Structure 1
Amino acid sequence: MKLIYDNYLNEIHSFDSYYGEIVIESDSLTIPYINLGVSEHPLNEGKDLKFINKAYMVFEDVVSFDEQFSLDEYKGTLTLYFGGYNLKEREHKEFKVVCNRAYLNLLEESEMSHKMWVPINTPNLKSNMDKEDVQNFLLSRN
């Protein structure tokens, strides 16, 4: 399986996803995600979402990262909107990343499913992932 996808980034959906601590190194950001959705993408060419259990979104040569943002676009850069449920702060957040390069980084053990991956119990959904596996993923540094 290919592990890096740097195209069709607007077809990666994070609204129903969960993420761990955002790792900032120099001018790049790495975000560990659980349950990223993809459709009309090389990973899933269909219109129905499929969900990835564990993956990283990597943003390089970051110009700005904002939780309070306008919908302005910047010429010559990528402007991407991501977010999800922040597992550490226990709240849903959205943010805008302006950068020169971004990609989805899968792991060798990444899996896709039509069902959602749920790392914690929520009022509406029960966790369907191993707690220790989730913790190990969120603590690893890609």
Structure 2
Amino acid sequence: MDDKISKKIIMINLATFFFVWNIIFLAGADKPPPIGFLWLVCLVLLLDIAQFFYLKRFLPRLQKKSKGLFFINLLYFFFGGLIVSVITILTRMNIMSGLQLIDIFIWIVLIIIPSLINGIFFYAFNIILLKKYKNS
């Protein structure tokens, strides 16, 4: 794949990921969003940086149609969701310490599920982008 096309696809991914997730979070936030909303923006930015490095390895493998890549991709997004949920638990120990184990488990699952859904859309979105820019 041409390096210029690869960079373009990566930038489209990063911009789309950043804006779509911030719009989703804004939709669920109070109006106007509280100052703590900036932590979510920072989290999305950190995840965007992680996605940047992941895309550099992912795109060539997707173009080559590597066997099992869809499930490997889902595994990465599963662990990404798990890490985010653990980080949110550790940064909010004062809130989480009063919860039962089942409540914490539900919290982790509720973070992992959107992460997996995001992984599916990520995979499909990049297939579409590769097809679009294949002949460019």
Q: TM-score by structure 1 length?
A: 0.22
- Say which structure, 1 or 2, has more relative contact order (CA 8 Å, 6+ apart): 2
Higher Cα radius of gyration: 2
Higher helix share: 2
